[in-house]
Amino acid sequence: MRFTLEVWTQASREEKGHFELYEVDEVDPEASFLEMLDLVNERLVLRGMRTIAFDSDCREGICGSCSLTIDGIPHGPNQVTTCQTYMRDFADGATIRVEPFRSANFPVLRDLVTDRGALDRVIQAGGYISTTTGPQPDPNAMPVSPEVQEQAMNAATCIGCGACVAACPNGAAMLFTGAKVTHLNLLPQGQVERAQRARSMVLAMDDEGFGGCTLYGECSRVCPQEISLDVIGMLNREYRRGARKQAA
């Protein structure tokens, strides 16, 4: 396959960026989007030219490192991670626009690499899960109903990629934060910090400058883990619950 790529190029956080054109041919349709970029970079290296910087790690849809906006959509058209996007999903000869995740909270460090540390700081504000040390506790000592277990584990699949933030017209991080609060607050191990967790994380979101949620729903539509908007309702409920506890 053959493609024309319009790739965002930016030397550093301080510099202005622009789109650079690259022609790439002899691409295996079974190559992932990142493998296609590897191919472009290998050819640039052979010609002694500057390569394209982009993030990746697991390349299996697990770690949340990959973060490209492909044709205007965070992670591309298929609601899967960038690393799980394959070139067979594009028309032969297509022009594809490749940008970093776009958010005021994700400054571009170089080309397609952004600093998503703001999400880490929101997680840190949620405290720690208190765990029992010593002998492994009997599983029956901490019963969890199947419904709660399913809800918590679904939320726990959030990989922290930040596509939800990049897709949101408000730049909100509510889906991400809602997923973390739902995961941690529902399980027995998360009860110790439950009262203050949602409040602390929402304050951290505000401190970082993330926008507010007005239920556009774009976040959930691009989320590769299909995190439901329900977690935002859970976050709001937990926030109010925490505020009542602190007032009591």
How far apart are the C-alpha atoms of 43 and 111, rounded to whole Å? Answer: 18
DSSP 93-119: T-EEEEEE---TTS-EEETTEE--HHH
Contacts of ligand FES in 102-141 (CB under 6 A): none
Nearer to ligand FES, 151 or 220 (CB): 220
Burial class (CB in 10 A: 0-12, 13-18, 19+), 57: exposed
Largest CA distance in the chain: 68
* Amino acid at position 244, single letter: R
| Binding residue for ligand SF4, selected from 159, 181, 184, 234, defined by CB under 6 A | 159
Residue 163 as a binder of ligand SF4 (CB under 6 A): the answer is: yes
Q: Quick one: what does residue 61 bind among ligand SF4, ligand FES, none, with the CB cut-off 5 to 8 Å set by partner type?
A: ligand FES
Q: Quick one: what does residue 83 bind among ligand SF4, ligand FES, none, with the CB cut-off 5 to 8 Å set by partner type?
A: ligand FES
| Binding residue for ligand SF4, selected from 33, 86, 176, 210, defined by CB under 6 A | 176
Residue 126 as a binder of ligand SF4 (CB under 6 A): the answer is: no
Residue 190 as a binder of ligand FES (CB under 6 A): the answer is: no
Q: Quick one: what does residue 175 bind among ligand FES, ligand SF4, none, with the CB cut-off 5 to 8 Å set by partner type?
A: ligand SF4
How far apart are the C-alpha atoms of 31 and 134, rounded to whole Å? Answer: 47
Residue 83 as a binder of ligand FES (CB under 6 A): the answer is: yes
Residue 241 as a binder of ligand FES (CB under 6 A): the answer is: no
Is residue 9 within 8 A of residue 54, CB to CB? The reply is no
217: left (phi over 0), alpha (psi -120 to 50) or beta: left
Residue 66 as a binder of ligand FES (CB under 6 A): the answer is: yes
How far apart are the C-alpha atoms of 192 and 185, rounded to whole Å? Answer: 9
How far apart are CB 116 and ligand SF4 at their closest, in Å? 9
How far apart are CB 32 and ligand FES at their closest, in Å? 9
- To the nearest 10°, report the CA torsion of 138, 142, 145, 148: -130
Residue 40 as a binder of ligand FES (CB under 6 A): the answer is: no
Which residues contact ligand FES (rule: CB under 6 A)?
56-59, 61-66, 81-83, 159
